[in-house]
């Protein structure tokens, strides 16, 4: 997209944002690419080369649990050092002004929290990879704790110190049930917003596509900002195929 096209798109987005009073944002991998976070699902992305470990395999095998932790630690240079991007910062500003009610995210990178968005305004559909929990008792563990145990045990996946249950990154794996509370909060937000902003999601992963449809049916203005066409472009009131950071930076400067 040329500079003039970015300006024109930013003007259209700014006009929607100016009238927004109770917006909801839905974010996917595209908002974090400028932060150096790999898009696991993209062609050539991590998951096309390294099939994700599904939940049943993680539970069934200590070796799979160790492999899951080896992979997670291998990602730490990218995930651990990442800083929020221009899209994250714009949403944080809008949330702080009270014009954005909530952010529903498919991302597991913790960058919305890092940009200053309160936990109460954030719904993480796929969990969070920046810490771990015991699957049996829910005790939270920081990654440093897991790594120290992992290394002390010569690569053995650590168990919960409280109940000896399996400790897993706090993400939702393939085959793992979607978190009911997060799904309910996302549905409640989607059904009661005036603007629904889809940012950096191709909307192909269920249940992602359901929320914009729900918002649109409830009367919201639907905006889709994504580099590539999405499944729901035909339904949207405003579609912008461009870089999220470029467009938001220009829109917020207006």
**CB of 214 vs Zn ion, minimal distance in Å:** 35
Instruction: Tell me how crowded residue 51 is: count the other CB atoms within 10 A of its CB.
Output: 9
- Closest to Zn ion by CB, 11 vs 161, is 161
88-95-201-39 Cα dihedral, nearest 10 degrees: 30
- Which residues are within 8 A (CB) of 169 and not within 5 positions of it... i.e. 6 or more apart? 68, 69, 72, 127, 129, 131, 132
Site of tokens 């110190």: 161
160 labeled part of a ligand binding site = yes
163 labeled part of a ligand binding site = yes
Residues of this chain that bind Zn ion (CB under 5 A): 134, 136-137, 139, 160, 162-163, 165
137 labeled part of a ligand binding site = yes
193 labeled part of a ligand binding site = no
Residues 21, 200 contacting (CB under 8 angstroms): no
Instruction: Tell me how crowded residue 26 is: count the other CB atoms within 10 A of its CB.
Output: 28
The two three-digit tokens of residue 73, written as one number: 């630690």
- Closest to Zn ion by CB, 62 vs 254, is 62
Reply yes or no on whether 88 is catalytic.
no
**CB of 236 vs Zn ion, minimal distance in Å:** 44
Question: From CA 27, how far away is CA 10, in angstroms rounded?
Answer: 18
**CB of 145 vs Zn ion, minimal distance in Å:** 13
The two three-digit tokens of residue 222, written as one number: 């639907």
**CB of 64 vs Zn ion, minimal distance in Å:** 19
Determine whether 98 is exposed, middle or buried from the number of CB atoms within 10 Å of its CB (0-12, 13-18, 19+): exposed
Query: Across the chain, which distance is largest between two alpha carbons, in Å?
Result: 59
- Closest to Zn ion by CB, 133 vs 226, is 133
Give the residue ranges of the annotated binding site for Zn(2+).
134, 137, 160, 163
Positions annotated as catalytic residues are 126
Give the residue ranges of the annotated binding site.
134, 137, 160, 163
């Amino acid at each position: 997209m040329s500079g003039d096209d970015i300006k024109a798109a930013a003007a259209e987005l700014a006009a929607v944002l100016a009238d927004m009073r109770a917006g909801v944002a839905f974010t996917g991998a595209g908002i974090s690419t400028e932060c150096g976070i790999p898009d696991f699902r993209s062609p050539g992305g991590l998951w096309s080369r390294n099939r994700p470990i599904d939940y049943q395999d993680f539970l069934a095998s200590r070796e799979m649990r160790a492999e899951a932790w080896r992979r997670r630690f291998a990602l730490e240079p990218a995930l651990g050092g990442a800083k929020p991007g221009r899209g994250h910062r714009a949403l944080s500003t809008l949330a702080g002004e009270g014009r954005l009610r909530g952010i529903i995210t498919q991302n597991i990178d913790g960058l919305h929290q890092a940009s200053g968005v309160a936990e109460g305004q954030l719904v993480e559909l796929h969990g969070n990879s920046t810490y771990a929990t015991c699957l049996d008792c829910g005790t939270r563990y920081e990654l440093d704790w897991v790594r120290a145990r992992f290394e002390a045990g010569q690569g053995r996946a650590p168990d919960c110190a409280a109940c000896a249950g399996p400790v897993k990154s706090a993400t939702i794996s393939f085959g793992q049930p979607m978190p009911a509370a997060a799904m309910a909060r996302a549905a409640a937000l989607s059904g009661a917003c005036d603007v629904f902003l889809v940012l950096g999601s191709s909307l192909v992963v269920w249940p992602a596509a359901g929320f914009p449809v729900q918002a649109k049916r409830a009367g919201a203005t639907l905006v889709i900002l994504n580099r590539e066409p999405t499944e729901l472009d035909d339904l949207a009131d405003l579609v912008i195929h461009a870089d999220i950071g470029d467009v938001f930076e220009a829109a917020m400067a207006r």
